[in-house]
Structure 1
Amino acid sequence: METRIAILGIIVENMDSVSEVNELLHEYNKYIIGRMGMPYREKNVSVISIVMDAPNNVISAVSGKLGMLDGVSAKAVYSKK
């Protein structure tokens, strides 16, 4: 199956959802190339960037599942190739 490189941008505004975010990312860890997370304490949010190499449907599934969590926003940016 053909894969694409994508960046998932995740903002966690509800810290109670952090464990669910981590569980979901662990579930798809075979597609994750790298991860960078930064707590922004002044705004009480966490900002996470995930780089993935996966089929389109997997990237969409992860982004959609993250976005359904309480207080979590996620968007994917895809490579053109």
Structure 2
Amino acid sequence: MAKRIGVIGIVIDDPKYIVDKVNNIISDYSKIIIGRMGIPRHDTEVSVIALIIEGTTDEVGALTGKLGNLPGVTVKSALTAREAAAKGEKEK
């Protein structure tokens, strides 16, 4: 299955209660994560995480599904139509 490059946005309400579970799930999928940016908003009790990913639609769906099933977690993903090239291979 082709790998695609994309972005996953995660918003966590009241992170002090659920952030450990979010981080454990993200860790489980570290092989598809290229980059991560997290912004804790202590004044509003909300945290935002942006992930840059490269994976199959199945891998991305599994990650976003697990995160989205957590209480207080909202997840949105956007994948490009472009397939990621394997090492030494031209992009399509």
The aligned counterpart of 2:12 is 12
Larger radius of gyration: 2
Hey, what's the Cα distance between the residues in 2 that align with 1:49 and 1:64?
A: 16
RMSD over equivalenced CA pairs, Å:
0.8
- Aligned-partner SS, 1:39: strand
> How much has 1:30 moved relative to structure 2?
0.7
Aligned residues: 81
SS in 2 for 1:24: helix
Structure 2 alignment gaps of length 5 or more = 83-92
Contact 1:6 1:59 in 2 (8 A): no
1:42-53, aligned counterparts within 5 Å? Answer: 42-53=43-54
Give the gaps of 5 or more residues in structure 1.
none
* Greater share of residues in helix: 1
TM-score by length of 2: 0.84
- Using the size of structure 1 for normalisation, the TM-score is 0.95
1:2 deviates by: 1.2
Preserved contact between residue 33 and residue 52 of structure 1 (Cα < 8 Å): yes
1:74 matched residue in structure 2: 75
Could you tell me how far apart the structure 2 residues matched to 1:67 and 1:59 are?
12
Give the superposition deviation at 1:10. Answer: 0.1
